[in-house]
Chain A
Amino acid sequence: MYSRAIKYALILACWCMAVADACAADAAGVVKTLTGTVHIERPGGSPSVAIGSEVYSSDRIVTGPQSSIGITLRDNTLLSEGSDSVLELTKFAFNTTTYDGALDATIKRGSLAVIDGKLAQANPDSVHYRTPTTTLGVRGTEFIIEVGGNGESAR
């Protein structure tokens, strides 16, 4: 009986540490522009979005009609997402000393404009942008991706 209580307490303690860890993790970027209705879906909750809000790896960023959002990532990558769009920031890591890291983002629906940052300049093979059907490799540049039709309908 006691041993079970201790076991649960331990599990709870581990879980709390994991949560604290997740919160302490570095933000991938910061919201710089915002119009209309935008929300972020994050494991464990959907934070409200404002200019200055932080964006994390694994965030799913959803814009409504006549809405947009602009995000600066820590390596100077600039992203903007147009209206009726779904962007998944699958992976972002960047080391300011070595410029090692990875960026993997999928625009599931709608449109995305990108201005490459330091990661794409130093390690272009570690940067990938995707649509449901297409993969893009970048070589230090600026571009627009628009997903055809309704893309992958939002879950």
Chain B
Amino acid sequence: MKAVIRRHRRVLGSTFAMLAFLSGCSTTPDKVILLPDPQGNVGAVIVRSGTEEQLINKAYAGVDVAKGGTMEKTMDSPASVQARYGELLAARPPRPMTFTINFLFDSATQLAPESSATVAKLKAVLATWPAPHLVVVGHTDLAGSQVFNDRLSMRRAQTVAAFLIKEGIPVQQIETAGRGKREPLVRTADGIANPMNRRVVITIQ
């Protein structure tokens, strides 16, 4: 009889140990931490779990989410984030860089004279870039229809791509696209011609 009780105790004991172990695991929360960008700007993240929702919008603010969905707001510092996540942050790819090429008059083919200097700078950056990929995107001003400007912006992108290839950049690193009049540099009313908006933006990814 005593032996049976002892055995029960042992089973109970190990059950409790197991439960403690399991709950130990389940109390390690998911963590979300918001970071500022290099200029110090901060966006926002909305964290949802089950029926709960939290918005964080300050640098180094965060939310701990327990497995049950309970949330707790947190506040870290640059030093604590660096200590805990230094290797993760160091593994981030380089931030894409952009270079802008302008066009003479209303042309899709004649690049502004400073283009050669811009491409020289771009090539210097490419030399140290891991597996570089160039996204060459043409833009137009707001004169003309969407369809017309989509085609014109694509022609501008292709002109710049041809120029880059002539300057020795491998063709397989270059992707072209036209964004038409969707993203003017200078906001104007529709139908307005503006030389600043006739451009090609090259992004090194």
Which A residues are closer than 8 A to B by beta carbons? 30-33, 35, 51-52, 68-72, 74, 76, 78-83, 96-99, 111-113, 115-116, 131, 133-150
Contact = CB atoms under 8 A, between A and B. Distances in A.
Given A97-B180, A115-B95, A136-B47, 13 more contacts: A30-B133, A68-B87, A68-B90, A82-B91, A83-B87, A96-B135, A111-B85, A112-B88, A131-B65, A133-B49, A133-B65, A135-B49, A148-B65
Contacts of B184: none
Nearest to B136: A96
B69 A133 contact: yes
A39 B205 CA distance: 22
Contact of A52 (B25, B42, B85, B131): B131
B81 interface: yes
25 contacts: A31-B131, A32-B93, A32-B130, A33-B92, A72-B93, A82-B88, A97-B177, A113-B88, A113-B91, A133-B49, A134-B47, A137-B45, A137-B46, A137-B48, A138-B43, A138-B44, A141-B34, A141-B44, A144-B32, A146-B30, A148-B30, A148-B31, A148-B66, A149-B26, A149-B67
Contacts of B131: 30-32, 51-52
A68 B96 CA distance: 20
Contacts of B88: 68, 80-82, 111-113, 144
B203 interface: yes
Nearest to B32: A145
Nearest to A52: B131
A76 B91 contact: no
Contact of B92 (A30, A78, A137): A78
Given A70-B92, A113-B85, A142-B37, A51 B130 contact: yes
Given A32-B131, A133-B67, A78 B49 contact: no
Interface of B: 25-26, 28-37, 42-49, 57, 65-67, 69, 81, 85, 87-96, 130-131, 133, 135, 137, 150, 175, 177-180, 182, 203, 205
B31 A144 contact: yes
Contacts of B45: 136-139, 141, 143
